[in-house]
Structures are given as structure tokens and as C-alpha cells.
């Protein structure tokens, strides 16, 4: 499912930065280092263009792909033995219900006040894609980070091109640091089978359990490998493909308590 697009200044900044870096890399740096019409120059330009196209496609998918919204007909079945966990409100203990969308919220779903919808397995709202990161587009965003080519090669240049090197460095160095940190953070979350929201909720839950003398365990933590395949899929060959057909409908997730009596968690 795709979604509409409205003007977003952060997205325009990202698009402009991508276009500038690509133009400088291919038509200025590659041309000066190898000669654009030589064999090494053509090979470098083609390889860089292929990576750039993959990055742009993933970025476009992340912007226009619906993050996964809760069906208006969703109703939790508390008597279903195949669903061992039901999330309830911290106050009152009722099943979670969205007053704005007028429907119940399945596990791991949250309402986004920017997108104005309840998002399945919501991680966070990202201004840089003007979209939520959720069940349907999380892998797309991750693959985009993995394929981002933001190397900052140190080369000598003539004075007339020095400004391009300076601007490129100012773009690429912080971009590389930010994307590396973001990639590392989400790899950690994937290995724990957590969203960003669940991480922060888990900090509080751990504190509360420790006060009660218990050990907290994230209910969706299936082990590192199973957690990884939950997001990327069971077929390793398809891990770098920006698809989401393997992840199910987002209304139910495997838990560490499958097969055990039904329990509830507060949200």
C-alpha cells in the first residue's frame, strides 16, 4: 500500500544533498581522478551509480510506503489461546483503545499524532522521510542505511574545485556518523526484537520489575537469529531486498510465551 506525499522541507534537504553528492562524485571527482571516459572511470561511475540508485529507491519506498495501519475492523480476541499476550492500559487495565481512530490497538501498535493513524509495530515518526517507521516499511529503511555509500575519500584538488571538496566533506562526514550510529542502534533493536518505543518502555518495565524483585524479559525476544529473521525474513538471499511480504499482517507477533496461558502487559 502506498500513501500520498506532502511537501516536507527535511525531505527536500535530503534529496538536494543526494543530488549534490552524486553530481560531484561522478562528474567532478571521478572525472579528475580517473577520467570519466576511461575504463576505470566508467567502472567507478557505474558502480557508484548502481549503489546510488539503490539508495534512492529505498528512500522513495520509505517515503511512499504505508507504514502499516490498524484495520478499522480489528477486534482483540482475549479467548484465543494462540495469542498469549494482550497489551492493556497502565491505568484501568482495559484493552488498549484509540479514541482518535475509534478502534482497538493490536500489540505493538501506537497512534502517530503526525500521520494521524494507528501504526502497526510503530518504531517512531521520522521527519527525514515525512513518514512513520512501522511494520510495513521498517526493513526498507534499514536496507537503505546498509546500502548508503557515504565514503569521504581524501584527494588533492586544484583551488577551483576545493570548495566542492569542502562542501562534500561537510555533508558526508556528519552524514556518515549519523547513519552509522542509526544503523548500529537499529541492529541492536532488531537483535532484541524491539522498537524504539518498546526500548524506552522496557527501561521503565525493567525498573519496576527489579523493584518487585523480578527479572524483566521482553516478551517478543525470540533469540538473536529468530529476531533477525522476523524483520529481514528467513531467506538470507532476500535480506537486502526492500520487501515486506514475509512479515505477516502486523496484528499478531510471535512471542517467547507462545503455547503458554494468556497474559497481559501494560502499555
Catalytic sites, residue numbers: 126
Question: Taking a C-beta distance cutoff of 8 angstroms, is the pair 264, 86 a contact?
Answer: yes
CA distance to 62, 133, 166, 231, per residue, from 265 (Å): 30, 23, 52, 22
C-alpha cell at 48: 557508484
| CB count in 10 Å sphere of residue 52 | 19
Helix (H) and strand (E) counts in the chain: 7, 8
Question: Taking a C-beta distance cutoff of 8 angstroms, is the pair 252, 258 a contact?
Answer: no
Local structure of 244: helix, strand or coil: coil
CA distance to 64, 200, 205, per residue, from 245 (Å): 17, 28, 32
Nearest-angstrom CA–CA distance, 56 and 36: 22
Residues in the chain: 267
Residue that is written with C-alpha cell 510503530 in the block: 122
Residue 32 sits at the vertex; the CA angle it makes with 21 and 39, to the nearest 5 degrees, is 100
Beta carbons within 8 Å of 32's beta carbon, 6+ residues apart:
155, 157, 161
Of 63, 28, 60, nearest in space to 44 by CA? 28
Amino acid at each position: 500500500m502506498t500513501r500520498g506525499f506532502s511537501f516536507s522541507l527535511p525531505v527536500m534537504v535530503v534529496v538536494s544533498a543526494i543530488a549534490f553528492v552524486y553530481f560531484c562524485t561522478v562528474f567532478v571527482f571521478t572525472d579528475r581522478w580517473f577520467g570519466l571516459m576511461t575504463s576505470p572511470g566508467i567502472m567507478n561511475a557505474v558502480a557508484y551509480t548502481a549503489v546510488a540508485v539503490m539508495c534512492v529507491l529505498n528512500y522513495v519506498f520509505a517515503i511512499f510506503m504505508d507504514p502499516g495501519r490498524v484495520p478499522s475492523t480489528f477486534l482483540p480476541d482475549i479467548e484465543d489461546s494462540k495469542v498469549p499476550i494482550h497489551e492493556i492500559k497502565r491505568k484501568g487495565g482495559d484493552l488498549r483503545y484509540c479514541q482518535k481512530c475509534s478502534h482497538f490497538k493490536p500489540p505493538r501498535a501506537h497512534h502517530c499524532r503526525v500521520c494521524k493513524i494507528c501504526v502497526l509495530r510503530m518504531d517512531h515518526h521520522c521527519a527525514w522521510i515525512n513518514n512513520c517507521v512501522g511494520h510495513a516499511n521498517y526493513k526498507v529503511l534499514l536496507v537503505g542505511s546498509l546500502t548508503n555509500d557515504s565514503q569521504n575519500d581524501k584527494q588533492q584538488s586544484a583551488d577551483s574545485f576545493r570548495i566542492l571538496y569542502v562542501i562534500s566533506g561537510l555533508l558526508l562526514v556528519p552524514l556518515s556518523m549519523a547513519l552509522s550510529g542509526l544503523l548500529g542502534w537499529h541492529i541492536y533493536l532488531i537483535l532484541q526484537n524491539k522498537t524504539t518505543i518498546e526500548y524506552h518502555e522496557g527501561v521503565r518495565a525493567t525498573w519496576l520489575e527489579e523493584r518487585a524483585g523480578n527479572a524483566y524479559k521482553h516478551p517478543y525476544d525470540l533469540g538473536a537469529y529468530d529476531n533477525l529473521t522476523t524483520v529481514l525474513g528467513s531467506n538470507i538471499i532476500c535480506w537486502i531486498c526492500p520487501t515486506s511480504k514475509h512479515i505477516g499482517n502486523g496484528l499478531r507477533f510471535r512471542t517467547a510465551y507462545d503455547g503458554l496461558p494468556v497474559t497481559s502487559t501494560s502499555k
